[in-house]
Amino acid sequence: MINWCKTNTLRILIDAAIFDMDGLLVDSEPHWRAMEQVVFATVGLHLTDDECKQTTGMPILEVVRYWFAKAPWSEEAAAGQTLESLADAITDGVHDRIARLAEPMPGAIETLQFFVSRGIPTAIASASPMSLIEVVVNRLGIRDLLTLWHSATLEARNKPAPDVYLGTARKLHVSPENCVTFEDSGSGLKSAHSAGMHTVAVPAAFEYSDPKFTMADVIIPSLTAFTVDTFSLLQTKDQYS
């Protein structure tokens, strides 16, 4: 889906490709949902897989706050657990599961290789902590395909604020407007769009038609659908009339 008006065509220089991580490069979302179900059950909140999908792309502490606001549990049920400790328990469990079980999303390795083969720097800009990014990089064996990786937890604000994308561009020494970003969540897409970057949305099947993705320059169903033609379209933008 290309949403550009046809007038005068401009050639855009792509200086870097920046990727979200969870659900985009690594098939981690099922592990997040599994751990959310386990940990929330300890406070008496029993979530279905579909309910967990409602918070896809949100920082994990925001997920805990979301469900506490929606279905608050008692101090007795919490048994001394804070919202922060519940978030930490989920994250710790996901660390373990991803280190043992996670696989790359279809087309993830090939898309990274696409940019590396063209001499274009690549980076991860994730809402997850650096410790989890390291686990994913090692699990997928993609260290040599990345210039750097950066976590929104090191910035003032997490996604959907643009901070992590702007910070990643600074670390790459490139201008945000010369970056192309890949995101699978609405929150992440808003972050990259707010940073002024070119955006490729790769939504999961269950929300592919959600209007929140229409702000993207391109929408594809999977990274396997990213091709030379897609890249050429991203490099050619028509000025608005």
Query: Please, are residues 131 and 95 in contact by the beta-carbon 8 Å criterion?
Result: yes
Residue from 94, 90, 97 nearest 66 by CA: 90
Catalytic residue among 15, 22, 92, 238: 22
Catalytic residue among 15, 20, 49, 50: 20
Could you please report the per-residue DSSP string of 154-198? GSSS-TTSSHHHHHHHHHHT--GGGEEEEESSHHHHHHHHHTT-E
Please say if 20 is a catalytic residue. Answer: yes
Q: How many C-beta atoms surround the C-beta of residue 84 within 10 A? A: 11
Q: How many C-beta atoms surround the C-beta of residue 209 within 10 A? A: 10
* Half-sphere exposure at residue 46, Cβ-oriented, CA atoms within 13 angstroms: 1
Please say if 92 is a catalytic residue. Answer: no
Tell me which residues are annotated as active site.
20, 22
